[in-house]
Amino acid sequence: MTRTLAIFNQKGGVGKTTTAINLAAGLALAGKRTLLVDVDPQGNATTGLGAGKSTLEFTTYDVLMGERSWRDAMISTGVSRLHLLPATLDLAGAVVELADVPGRELCLRNGLREVEAAFDYVIIDTPPSLGLLSINCLAAADCTIIPMQCEFYALEGLAQVEHTLRLVRRQLNQNLSLFGILLTMVDARSRLCRDVIDAVRTQYRERVFDTLIPRTVRIAEAPSYGEPVLTYDKRGKGAGAYQALTQEVLAR
């Protein structure tokens, strides 16, 4: 059975795209047939995997609009078994074009039909803020991973994410579960960071991944080489952390 994981947090800049790219790459390197779906008009996952945006024939936009199948739009990447459904700024237009369409929240779910036959994992990179695109991601997923930074507002942010997940469960997707909370950009020397980790673990317990993603220069620079940190700096600390996360995901 295909597992569809949305990497979601309505807050921006928390490590969603970095996690989507590296978890997807980790699963592919572990032998799983994996599709990474970029559902952010910023197209960071697309650039981060080295796909030239000007050369793309079709994108997530076409799939969302029901004009193309995912088979037409997906491209291969530098990592074997990892395919990408790329996004460009066009995707921003989908929100406007779908505004009056009945069932507009389910366009991605419909667009990904029959993906089961081709992939073991589908990883969805979601945009920041809450809108029609994020809702489509949550409606299409069976679980969510919530990356978050160690900051003072962390618990407030998580409460907002939980509220959103409850609404989506009630209205659109009963089966949506919280797969895990992932602490990103962790600086173990920071007192605040350690306090936040303790607070999140006390409240969310086993729903928090054991793996902590450290803040490293290699993780930040890998996308500029169009590679996951898992291949760009194989033996580094960042790659090790994303490998550990991959193992946790495979084990759950």
Using CB under 6 A, list all residues that contact ligand ATP. Answer: 12-18, 40, 44, 128, 184-185, 213, 215-216, 219-220, 223
Q: Let me know: does 183 contact 200? Beta carbons within 8 Å.
A: yes
Q: How far apart are CA 37 and CA 44, in angstroms?
A: 11
Binding track, positions 30-59, relative to Mg ion; x by CB under 5 A: --------------x---------------
Round to whole Å and give the CA distance between 245 and 250: 9
- Identify whether the C-beta of residue 181 lies closer than 8 Å to the C-beta of residue 211: no
| List 17, 88, 173, 246, residue binding Mg ion (CB under 5 A) | 17
> What is the smallest separation between the CB atom of 135 and ligand ATP, expressed in angstroms?
16
CA distance linking residue 107 with residue 89, whole number of Å: 18
Contact residue for Mg ion among 16, 32, 81, 109 (CB under 5 A): 16
Q: Does residue 9 touch Mg ion according to CB under 5 A?
A: no
How far is Cα 134 from Cα 228, in angstroms, rounded to an integer?
Answer: 23
Identity of the residue, 100 or 152, whose beta carbon is nearer to ligand ATP in the bound complex: 152
| Closer Cβ to Mg ion, 203 or 225, answer by number | 225
**Residues contacting 228, CB < 8 A, separation 6+:** 21, 22, 24, 25, 26, 48, 49, 79, 222, 242
Q: Which is nearer to Mg ion, 44 or 60 (CB)?
A: 44
Q: How far is the CB of 26 from ligand ATP (least distance, A)?
A: 14
Shorter beta-carbon distance to ligand ATP: residue 40 or 105: 40
Q: Which of residues 109-148 bind Mg ion (CB under 5 A)?
A: none
In DSSP terms, 6 is beta-bridged to 124, 144
Q: Is 149 in the site for Mg ion (CB under 5 A)?
A: no
Q: What letter would DSSP give residue 126?
A: P
Name which of Mg ion, ligand ATP, none residue 185 binds, using a CB cut-off of 5 to 8 Å depending on partner kind: ligand ATP
Take residue 230 and report the two structure tokens written for it: 């898992």
CB of 124 to ligand ATP, least distance (A): 12
Q: Give min distance, CB of 67 to ligand ATP, in A.
A: 25
In the bound state with ligand ATP, the residue whose beta carbon lies nearer, of 16 and 32, is 16
Of Mg ion, ligand ATP, none, which one does residue 47 interact with (CB within 5 to 8 Å by kind)?
A: none
Q: Are strands 75-76 and 82-85 parallel, antiparallel or unpaired?
A: antiparallel
Specify the residue, 68 or 237, whose C-beta has the smaller distance to ligand ATP.
237
Report the residue number whose CB is nearest to Mg ion: 17
C-alpha triplet 238, 243, 246: angle, nearest 5°: 130
